Amino acid sequence: MNQRIVEVKNPHGLHARPAALFVQKAASFPGKIVVEKGGKEADAKSILGIMSMGIECGDTITLKGEGDQIEPVFDALEAIAQDTSL
């Protein structure tokens, strides 16, 4: 399983619009992607799962997934988590 640690820089964290974009991008990948924060894990394709984690600006999350094309998806998810304009 591949992993990437990401610091959330979006000033609102992964709430509402950023969370929706995050989930849409994760859903475009056919394999499983999991987000971990503080020992809790959620399916990256679940808006309720992401929102329930309470991911805020400055938090560190770990993206976990498998598949041939996982790195570009990790890149896109990291860009959403770090986008300060959303």
Which residues are designated catalytic? 15
Query: Which residue matches tokens 């770090």?
Result: 82
Distance CA 48, CA 67 (A): 24
* Contact predicate 55/16, CB 8 Å: no
